[in-house]
Chains A and B, each alone.
Chain A
Amino acid sequence: MRTSPALAALRYLVLSLLAVLFLLPFYVLLRNGFSSDRLLARATWHWWPDDVSLTSLRELFANDDVRMARSLLNSAVVAVVQTVATVLISALAGYGLARIDSRTNRVVLGLTVLTLMVPAAVTFIPSFVIVSTLGWISSLRGLIIPVLFSAFATFLFRQFFLGFPRELEEAAMIDGAGYWRTFWRVVMPNTYGICAAVGTITFIGSWNAFLWPLLIGQDRDFRTVQVALSQFMNSQGVDLPQLFVGSAVAILPVLLVFLFLQRYLVQGVERSGID
């Protein structure tokens, strides 16, 4: 397919403009975090920040209403535990559903697919009811455990394992290995790609989650960083530079994870058979 150089140049121009537009909000975040209140309220838009120091950052972490450090810690614990646990639980379940045929296999599979049809957020009220009965409000358990069971992840793994070459497993079984050992010694070492994909999706989803942590984290010590930022924004004592520098800090881990692992995400999508 030949395209004229003019058209190609136009394409690159449009793409570049769009790329600038898409990256703009990230820059605004940084600019706001390193500006003073006055600059942010000025009538004309200034592209350059005027207070490139760590003052706002220090003030933010000293702010006892926000409890930024604690919130970051909570987010980190929740995200890491949730990622590891979800990948494990879903990989195991996906393998079982793909390889271990039994009467209940089809029932469980059906239930899993059915859950896919129900949007997760719609179950937040009933889940809240259960969790509050269990007494898990304002606790790390309440933040982590109810969201570990991802039908989507399990389904992805199942699809993946269906297409996994049986020869490897058969070779292991010939050598006398059972399901368990086959899974850990032979199958898992060859699934790092999809584990990375599922892990990335889960980590990002967990770090960025809002509604569930909002419901569960009613005590200020058990808020995640998203909830902390949201409540800071809406409080009477809000300080805009602090808010934005806090957001920049909150976005950093996820950006890093994303930049390094996005190709697994892309590969995962390509192989997922969503379409």
Chain B
Amino acid sequence: MSTLTARLRGRQDRNVWFWVFVGPFALGLLVFVYVPILWSVYLSFFDARNTVSPTHFVGFGNYLYLLRDPAFVSSMGTFALFAVFIVPVTYVCSLALALLVNRARVAQAFFRSAFFLPTACSYVIAALIWRLSLFSGARFGLANNVLRAFGLENVNWLGGANYGYWVVLVSLRLWLQVGFYMILFLAGLQRIPRDTYEAAAIDGAVGWRVLRHITLPQLRSTSAAVVLLLLIGAFQAFDEFYNTLITVGGYPPFARPPLVYLYLVSVGGGTQDLGLGSAGTIILTLVVAAVGLVQLRLFSLGGREERA
């Protein structure tokens, strides 16, 4: 073996260098992700109020309390409802936008930027605009102005007497996210070879049929990624819920997704019940993992031949 090959094969101090490169990251991951998760699992079995080193062991007490707590269960229900709305709607809208933008020859970059730009806006600021100006329940909101122009009454969007707040939250999230997923779809669309379309055109396929039988199947892996990201994103929903609905008097009893519930329980509500919060986090993580796995399984059922 020549010295060149030996050197290329790898060095004796390979392990040292591995840690030089990967060390900081691995250390950080350990200290700020894995240790906290493990500590949190530990805490979840204790009655840990206002303390991080508790002494009162309660076993599965926290878990049982949560699973029986109507507030927690309803927060999971809120998430489920939210996900059922937001995932398909975002999927369809971003795909539709991608299809439209993809075929635009003139000013394609401008349109792409216009739809992608909201991604740069923070959830806080977007929530401000939505809550105070666009969907304000008072007479000066834009939505209410439009309603009154059609002769209808003002709607108190965020009051909780109706389900108007879902319109606000879903439209808010759509605005913020559709651009990003549109980009994903655009990338996927551009990967479809042109001759596929041309072959289909020769066969007489057109419009809707092209979409169903050619485009969508080719986009399967992109779709899988998009749906998975959307689901995980729906779980992480906090910023826009909190900022749209919080008032001087506190957070209302409706529209509490799991993270808001956990936040209020463990930090925001007066007593810091960290044991309960940790148990809730674990439950949430397990649910997310399960849903993610199921979804991946569903999607790969048909798409294994896609991957090279």
Contacts and interface: CB of A to CB of B under 8 A. Distances in A.
A and B touch in the complex (CB under 8 A): yes
Interface of A: 1, 3, 11-12, 14-15, 18-19, 22-23, 25-26, 28-29, 32, 40-45, 89-90, 92-93, 95-97, 100-105, 108, 111-112, 115, 117-130, 132-133, 145-149, 151, 154, 170, 173-174, 178-180, 183, 204, 207-208, 210-211, 215, 226, 229-230, 233-236, 240, 243-244, 247, 250-251, 254-255, 257-259, 262, 265-266, 269-270, 274-275
Interface string B24-61: 11101101111111011001000000001000000000
Contacts, number: 278
Residue from B29, B39, B132, B248 with most neighbouring chain A CB atoms (10 Å): B29
B22 interface: yes
B28 A121 contact: no
Contacts of B115: 18-19, 22
B28 to A, nearest CB: 3
A274 B28 contact: no
B263 to A, nearest CB: 8
Contact of A1 (B32, B187, B197): B197
Contact of A100 (B14, B188, B221): B14
Contacts of B21: 92-93, 95-96, 100, 179, 183
14 contacts: A3-B103, A40-B133, A120-B236, A122-B235, A127-B36, A129-B43, A145-B32, A174-B4, A180-B20, A236-B248, A247-B128, A251-B122, A262-B113, A266-B112
Contacts of B133: 28, 32, 40
B243 A230 contact: yes
Interface string B208-232: 0000000000000110110000001
B125 A250 contact: yes
A48 to B, nearest CB: 14
A126 B134 contact: no
Given A101-B14, A126-B43, A207-B122, 10 more contacts: A18-B114, A41-B140, A42-B140, A93-B26, A111-B29, A183-B21, A208-B120, A234-B246, A265-B183, A275-B188
Contacts of A14: 100
A3 B210 CA distance: 14
B17 A179 contact: yes
B266 interface: yes
B119 interface: yes
A173 B145 CA distance: 69
Contact of B7 (A11, A102, A173, A266): A173
B4 to A, nearest CB: 7
B95 interface: no
Contacts of B35: 130
Residue from A44, A174, A208 with most neighbouring chain B CB atoms (10 Å): A208
B225 A275 contact: yes
Interface string B73-90: 000000000000000000
B170 interface: no
Given A14-B100, A122-B281, A230 B184 contact: no
B37 A126 contact: yes
Interface residues of B, number: 101
Contacts of A130: 31-32, 35-36, 39
The 10 closest A-B pairs by CB, nearest first: A96-B21, A126-B36, A149-B28, A126-B40, A208-B122, A93-B25, A258-B120, A275-B222, A96-B22, A19-B114
B157 interface: no
B124 A269 contact: no
Nearest to B280: A125
A229 B288 contact: no
A130 B37 CA distance: 10
Contacts of B100: 11, 14-15, 18
Given A14-B100, A117-B292, A108 B22 contact: yes
Given A93-B21, A125-B281, A226-B122, A23 B29 contact: no
Interface string B150-177: 0000000000000000000000000100
A102 B103 contact: no
B67 interface: no
Nearest to B200: A1
Given A111-B29, A251-B122, A170 B36 contact: no
A121 B236 contact: yes
Contacts of B130: 25
A22 B112 CA distance: 11
A127 B11 CA distance: 38
B104 A210 contact: no
B116 interface: yes
Contact of B114 (A22, A234, A236, A244): A22
